[in-house]
Amino acid sequence: MVTRPKLDVDELVQEGRVNGRVYSDPAIFDLEMEKIYHKTWVYVAHETELPDGGDYKLTYIGKHPVIVARSSDDKQIRVFFNRCRHRGATVCQMEYGNSNYFRCAYHGWVYNNGGGLVGVPFEEGYGEDFNKDKLGLVQVPRVGAYKGFVFASLSADGPNLVEHLGNAARCLDFIVGQGDMFVGKGHHKFGYNGNWKLQMENTVDTYHVQVLHAAYFQIVERRMGVSRAWDASQSRTRDLGNGHSTLGEDPMDLDYQVTSAGLNFNVGVFPNLDMLALERGLPTQIRVIRPIAYNRTEVTLHPLLKQGVAPEVNFDRLRRYEEFYGPGGFASPDDWEIFSRIQTGIQADSIEGSQWALHLRGLQTEEVDHERGIRTNRGGYGEASQRAIYRHWKQVMAE
């Protein structure tokens, strides 16, 4: 195992500000893969993406390409490295498919979708000690599901999934409580030249919405005669602990019941899942973040559709989704552009004092709920949700 010098996290992350190196240093990115993505629970799929036996999808856990497969025989979902045990080629190439067996294209090694090595061509050429039982696809040691959301962890030890989700579990309860939903077959991806944490910060950032996306609100008002302007004065930003955070109306207020539908909120589940649950405004969606390099990230967006409704309902949800988030939407492309600008701007750091990115808003007015481990900014525009990410980041990167 590679031993790296310990990171001086106190130099990098302080209350209300982070050193730009957390976005721009390739060595810190490598350490993040090791300390975060290759240790903690990482979101890999929603169960409705794999409805039938034999269904599989490809995704990543940090730098590891993985196959998420549902067995036809026992219906279990398992996660394997997408790496042939022979020479290391990826065994599956299609993002989604249905197959009970996988065959590597290079030399024809065949695996079942439980990961076992079924056979190899010309097996007699191997010696007697060739043991297929030991050459199955490497299985990710822990896979867990919470109300349809499937996570996996490369670490056999550590907090269980519910402990990891902590307060964020209640947010997922609310999303599920809005009614039966499913991930449709359509999704889209975008890549940007910036660090993965910029997307995490942005999904729970109230402060930019009326500014960066002003054109969207203006266009909708002029062309459609409706106001989508969002009164943030009633919303919250929250540090839920474990790096998770929310913005918007507040499922963490105890007087909201899980069954009450239609809260406007976003939740970031550290480190790679964002849920937008703007049921009364824009449709719910899942965003999955894939860190590729310190300055390159890919995000996959899945709109959530409703089960058991007229097709027109989901048609309308998709059109609304496209309006804001789609590749030609009026808002998400703004964010991607800004992520690239940050990645460029953050390089200007060589004069003392220039190196900080600020998350100061609401720092002095945070309400701290020690019992539940929640810190809250009321009245909108607070940056408690960004501080949430870095408080946890600091803790796990120092371990």
Partner 1 sequence: MMRGGHRPDSLLKSEFAAVFVEILDSGRGPRLMIKDARTDQAIYLDPLELESLAWRKHADLKSFLDPSQGRWSDGPDDGLSDMLKGVDVDL
Task: Find the binder of partner 1 among 93, 307, 347, 365 (CB under 8 A).
Answer: 93
The Cβ-side half-sphere exposure at 396, using a 13 Å CA radius, reads: 25
Please report whether residue 124 would count as binding partner 1 according to CB under 8 A: yes
Spell out the residues 6+ positions from residue 244 whose beta carbon is closer than 8 angstroms to its own. Answer: 165, 166, 167, 168, 171, 267, 268, 269, 270, 388
Q: How many whole angstroms separate alpha carbon 239 and alpha carbon 219?
A: 33
Written as six digits, the tokens of 44 are 């890999």
Nearer to partner 1, 92 or 181 (CB): 92
Sole window of 8-16, 123-131, 172-180, 272-280 interacting with partner 1 (rule: CB under 8 A): 123-131
Work out how close the CB of 352 gets to partner 1 at its nearest, in angstroms, rounded to a whole number.
Answer: 54
Work out how close the CB of 73 gets to partner 1 at its nearest, in angstroms, rounded to a whole number.
Answer: 5
Please report whether residue 371 would count as binding partner 1 according to CB under 8 A: no
Sole window of 14-22, 118-126, 159-167, 268-276 interacting with partner 1 (rule: CB under 8 A): 118-126
Indicate the pairing of strand 188-192 with strand 181-183: unpaired
Please report whether residue 122 would count as binding partner 1 according to CB under 8 A: yes
Residue window 73-92: x/- pattern of binding to partner 1, with contact defined by CB under 8 A: x------------------x
Nearer to partner 1, 22 or 120 (CB): 120
Contacts 24+ apart (CB under 8 A), 211-217: 212/334, 212/335, 212/338, 213/330, 213/331, 213/334, 215/330, 215/334, 216/324, 216/330, 216/331, 216/334
Please report whether residue 101 would count as binding partner 1 according to CB under 8 A: yes
Work out how close the CB of 102 gets to partner 1 at its nearest, in angstroms, rounded to a whole number.
Answer: 7
Please report whether residue 331 would count as binding partner 1 according to CB under 8 A: no
Nearer to partner 1, 59 or 246 (CB): 59
Q: How many whole angstroms separate alpha carbon 28 and alpha carbon 35?
A: 10
Alpha carbon dihedral 148, 45, 330, 345, in 10-degree steps, equals 130
Handedness of CA 339, 343, 344, 346 (dihedral sign): positive
Please report whether residue 373 would count as binding partner 1 according to CB under 8 A: no
Task: Find the binder of partner 1 among 31, 33, 89, 118 (CB under 8 A).
Answer: 118
DSSP state of 106: T
Residue window 286-305: x/- pattern of binding to partner 1, with contact defined by CB under 8 A: --------------------
> Which positions from 179 through 198 interact with partner 1, judged by CB under 8 A?
none
Sole window of 102-110, 175-183, 202-210, 254-262 interacting with partner 1 (rule: CB under 8 A): 102-110
Spell out the residues 6+ positions from residue 276 whose beta carbon is closer than 8 angstroms to its own. Answer: 203, 266, 282, 284, 285, 287
Please report whether residue 51 would count as binding partner 1 according to CB under 8 A: no
Q: How many whole angstroms separate alpha carbon 296 and alpha carbon 197?
A: 11
How many angstroms from the chain centroid is the CA of residue 62? Answer: 11
Please report whether residue 218 would count as binding partner 1 according to CB under 8 A: no
Nearer to partner 1, 116 or 179 (CB): 116
Task: Find the binder of partner 1 among 112, 167, 235, 272 (CB under 8 A).
Answer: 112
DSSP 31-73: HHIIIIITTS-EEEEEGGGS-STTEEEEEEETTEEEEEEE-TT
# binding residues, partner 1 (CB under 8 A): 27
Task: Find the binder of partner 1 among 94, 258, 348, 358 (CB under 8 A).
Answer: 94
Which residues in 277-394 belong to E strands, given as ranges? Answer: 285-293, 296-306, 356-358, 367-369, 374-378
Please report whether residue 41 would count as binding partner 1 according to CB under 8 A: no
Nearer to partner 1, 10 or 124 (CB): 124
Binding site for partner 1 (CB under 8 A): 53-54, 71-73, 92-94, 97-103, 108, 110, 112, 114, 118-125
